[in-house]
Structure 1
Amino acid sequence: MPRINRLERELHLRQLQVRRLLQMTQAINNNVAADDLFQMYRAFLRSELGVNEMALIVRESEHDDEWQLATSIGLDEAELATAIDYSTDLAEIKRPGLIDRYDHPLFSHFEHVVPVLHKERPIAYIFIGSFEDEDNMFERVQIITTISNVIAVAIENKRLFRRQIEQERLEADLDLGAKVQAMLIPKELPVNDFYELSAIYRPKLGVGGDYFDYREFVDGKLVFCIGDFTGKGVSAALLMANFQANFHTLIRKRGNLHEFVTEINESVYRITDGERFVTFFVAEYDRESHLLRYVNAGHPPAVLVGENTFQLLDKGTTVLGSIDRLPVLEVGEVSLPPQALIVTYTDGLTDLQSTAGETFEEEILHQFARRQHSRSASSFNANLLDKLEEFRQGEAYPDDLTILTCRIFGD
């Protein structure tokens, strides 16, 4: 081909490149959908650069082993999709070049590969096969590389923007959930000549699934409870709000604990249709008879400690909300010693780990409660919190942590 013709052809290709870059830049500025960008990209490569086979593979997530086929030319995408999981092979591609791996299920379709880097990190790979016209191969590959970089970076920015929106939505969800939950958790707990309640409350993300509550009655009875809801964020907070409303409504009916737990289980099941549940412990202290009646619904057993008394309060039923009718429901009843300490907690306590990987097992709590049983509820919790801090040695709390301690003063 005469030199003048080659120069004219090269100029034409450069004009195409500039024109397409302008079009795609305008499309990106107009926030055109990714599918439309891919269609423009594919049409340009096919009709104006004469590409017979092409595949653009882009990063699907932050992980290096998750890629997806964004668009292709001249290939069976269903067949090619099985090859996208070759993250190790993709990671070996550091620079543009020819492909010589003819036995590879992905690479065998193509002749050229060009990695697209963003901040020195691969975000896409362009695989190019044959051209209808083999003239000006180098210039065409250069044009494809330039436009592919623009497209890939635009798609990466869209992905990062979506992630930012999702993060902001999550933070808003957690913030709203925390505000709702803050209204549900008691601000003050009762202290009088007959009993004292004290709580430790540490939601992991500012909003969690732990719940505790109480209700005092004019006849001297005290009802207190603790629960752990599945889920986090607004969904858990809304379920908790509904549960709290039902707790106070049903407990005011002054029926027995059997009726109360049966009805509150039905209310949770109605709301969640069995897809969510709550572990729950509820106890009623009668200071006239000095009796404690309780139901444990799939919750870690509460610990009852006295001078010569140690007992796990484990009688009850299964978790609430998973089925509409509880198959078995037993109300436990204990005649309390003159002075008693009752410690209830969620599984965030026993999930706690030390730097050596040891967990804060139930037996550690039991031994601690035996030694500290004569203390007030607030003093017991303060000492327990010190022990937890010493045990975890800076390790993060793995889950929500709630401890509700009741001190019975008796006569």
Structure 2
Amino acid sequence: MNRELELLEKLEKDLSLKKLQIKSLLTITQAINDNVSGEGLFNMYKSFLSWEMAINKMALFVIEDEGWHCATSIGFDTVRQNELIPLLLEHSRLHTIKEDDDMKMHDFDIVIPVFHKDTPIAYAIIGGIKEKEDLYNRIQFITTITNIIAVAIENKRLFKRQLKQERYNREMELASDVQHMLIPEEMPKSKYFQLSSIYRPHFNVGGDYLDYIQFSERKFAMCIADISGKGVAAALLMANFQAMIQSLIFQYRDLETFVFALNQSVHRITKADKFITFFIAEIDTEKRTMKYINAGHYPPLLYMDGKIRELNQGCTVIGAFDKLPEINEEIIELSEDALILSFTDGLVELQNDKMEYFGDEMIRNFVELNGMDDPETFNDKLIAEIDNFRGEQKFNDDIAVLTCKIF
């Protein structure tokens, strides 16, 4: 009779535990379906282990974009998380902590790892299990609940990452659209001069800018710039920068005053948080003169009478200071068939499979060999030279080239 009563009591306890487990599973599943926050799910997990499973020591570690961290705990000092995480990462299966395990683990009884394929996404470390009866089933159920919570949290993390990536893609698409509107699709060509450009943005959106302004049939300005930063911020700054150039160039016809005003306008917007390297040349084909200012930009090359000359006079970069300390304008007389090659530093920093750079010497040699060509032919050959040099190596920065020929 006593044995029958004991058996009946055990069955009642087992049934009560199963009901509790089913209720807990339904509650957690419903919470996940209702899109309860990660913090809410962690609190439910903590409450379940503490009140329903009689656990008095626990820590749940989850992986996030920044790394591992303790999401919730019972009776655990989170300052210890950094010393435990490397020990937990050694385990890929349910592990019972033994005497020969690291001393730092001895406050706990079991380690529950949660993997997605071959990647760990969570670890629960459990100790202080008060209720020892039917311990195996309790641990199995704790493992099940831990897996459900961990997978739900991982799905939330991946969903947030997907939303972030989609938002980033939309921003980059917007930046790309803005940039394509700002870079001239066609360059002028006349019997007095001709311009041609190359534009290869890195990851579809870059910080390089090139443009021209025509004052009359025989007078124009050409400019090239490299804006610090990428993405929407650089694209918006580029849009502002172009608007400033188009406005100020007609207000201040001498280049020194123009560059001085341009710097103040950029600094007022960026507060020195970003800067711009900039080169501008004003060319009068009737007088055959070129005035230019180089504001910290990679020096363009002037090829004239069989010689190469660097155009490096000017000032420091645009936007770094509220006032430019010094501006030096240089005036050069241009002979027939003079060629001006301006480019951003992405060209000289281009690397091939041997990690060699497409540096100054290669560019100078190329100019000497092809400097008598018209700009379109020159740039077509330059593109072929670049592609041949880099081989399978990808572009590691934006490349912009603006080539001008004076006839």
Q: Which moved more, 1:343-352 or 1:100-109?
A: 100-109
Match for residue 18 of structure 1?
22
Work out whether residues 309 and 337 of structure 1, in 8 Å CA contact, stay in contact via their aligned partners in 2: no
Equivalent position amino acid for 1:408 in 2: I
- More displaced stretch, 163-172 vs 393-402: 393-402
Match for residue 91 of structure 2?
Answer: 93
One-letter identity of the residue aligned with 1:344 = S
Q: Say whether residues 1:48 and 2:52 are aligned partners.
A: yes
Question: Which of 385, 394, 397 is equivalent to 2:395?
Answer: 397
8 A contact 2:88–2:111 mirrored in 1: no
Structure 2 partner of 1:217: 215
**After the TM superposition, which residues 1-400 of structure 1 pair with which residues of structure 2 at under 5 Å, given as runs?**
2-61=6-65, 66-77=67-78, 79-83=79-83, 86=86, 89-100=87-98, 104=102, 107-218=105-216, 220-400=218-398
Cα distance, 1:379–1:35 mapped onto 2, change above 3 Å: same
Superposition misfits of 4+ residues, deviation over 6 angstroms:
none
Higher helix share: 2
Q: Distance in 1 between matches of 2:102 and 2:253?
A: 73
Query: Which segment drifts farther, 307-316 or 369-378?
Result: 307-316
Runs of 5+ unmatched residues, structure 1 = none
SS in 2 for 1:130: strand
Question: CA 1:129–1:328 in 2, change beyond 3 Å: closer, same or farther?
Answer: same
Displacement after TM superposition at 1:322 (Å): 1.4
Residue range with higher mean Cα deviation, 223-232 or 157-166: 223-232
Which TM-score applies when normalising by structure 1? 0.94
Give, as a single letter, the amino acid of the residue that structure 2 aligns with 1:72.
S
Distance of 2:202 and 2:268 partners within structure 1: 28
Distance between the aligned counterparts of 1:3 and 1:302, measured in 2?
A: 93
Q: Assess, with a 3 A threshold, how the Cα gap between structure 1 residues 363 and 270 changes in structure 2: closer, same or farther.
A: same
Partner SS state of residue 129, structure 1: strand
- Secondary structure at the aligned position of 1:241 is classed as helix
* 8 Å contact from structure 2 (residues 280, 294) kept in 1: yes
- Distance verdict in 2 for CA 1:333–1:6, change over 3 Å: farther
Question: Residues 133-176 of structure 1: CA distance to partner in whole angstroms, max 9, x if unpaired?
Answer: 22222122111100010000000000000110011001100111
| Distance (Å, rounded) in 1 between the aligned partners of 2:316 and 2:167 | 35
In structure 2, relative to structure 1, the CA distance for the partners of 1:106 and 1:368 (3 Å cut) is: farther
Contact 1:99-1:110 at 8 Å conserved across structures: yes
User: How far apart, CA to CA, are the structure 2 residues paired with 1:101 and 1:379?
Assistant: 77
Task: State the alpha-carbon separation in 2 of the partners of residues 108 and 355 from structure 1.
Answer: 52
Q: Deviations over 1:216-245 (max 9, x none)?
A: 112722101011111222211111111111
Q: Secondary structure at the match of 1:162?
A: helix
Task: Read off the aligned partner of 1:287 and give its amino acid letter.
Answer: T
Distance (whole Å) between structure 1 residues aligned to residue 140 and residue 126 of structure 2: 12
CA–CA distance in structure 2, aligned partners of residues 94 and 118 of structure 1: 11
For the 8 Å contact 1:10–1:139, the answer to whether it is kept is no
> 1: CA distance between counterparts of 2:18 and 2:80?
32
Deviation of residue 82 (structure 1)?
3.2
Does the 8 Å CA contact 1:250/1:264 hold for their aligned counterparts?
yes
The answer as to whether partners of 1:67 and 1:84 remain within 8 angstroms in 2 is no
The Cα of 1:294 is off from its aligned counterpart by 1.1
Q: In structure 1, how many angstroms separate the alpha carbons of the residues matched to 2:81 and 2:91?
A: 19
Residue 315 (structure 1) shift: 1.1
2:56 counterpart SS class: coil
CA contact (8 A) 1:258 1:330 kept: yes
Q: CA deviation at 1:288?
A: 2.8
Letter of the structure 2 residue corresponding to residue 245 of structure 1: A
Matches of 1:106 and 1:204 in 2, distance apart? 48
Identity of aligned residues (%): 44
Aligned CA RMSD, in angstroms, stands at 1.7
Deviates more, 1:200-209 or 1:217-226: 217-226
Per-residue CA deviations over 1:234-269 (Å, capped at 9, x if unaligned) read 211111111111101011124211111111111111
| 1:41/1:163 CA distance change after superposition, 3 Å | same
Following superposition, the deviation at residue 307 of structure 1 comes to: 2.8
Whether the 8 Å CA contact 2:210–2:224 is kept in 1: the answer is yes
Structure 1 Cα separation of the partners of residues 321 and 103 of structure 2: 50
Q: How many residue pairs end up in the alignment?
A: 403
| CA distance 1:258–1:203, shift in 2 (3 Å) | same
Asked if 2 retains the 8 angstrom alpha-carbon contact of 1:55 and 1:72, the reply is: yes
Return 1-10 or 145-154, whichever deviates more.
1-10
Equivalent residues of 1:80, 1:106 under 8 A apart = no
Question: How many angstroms apart in 2 are the aligned matches of 1:14 and 1:70?
Answer: 27
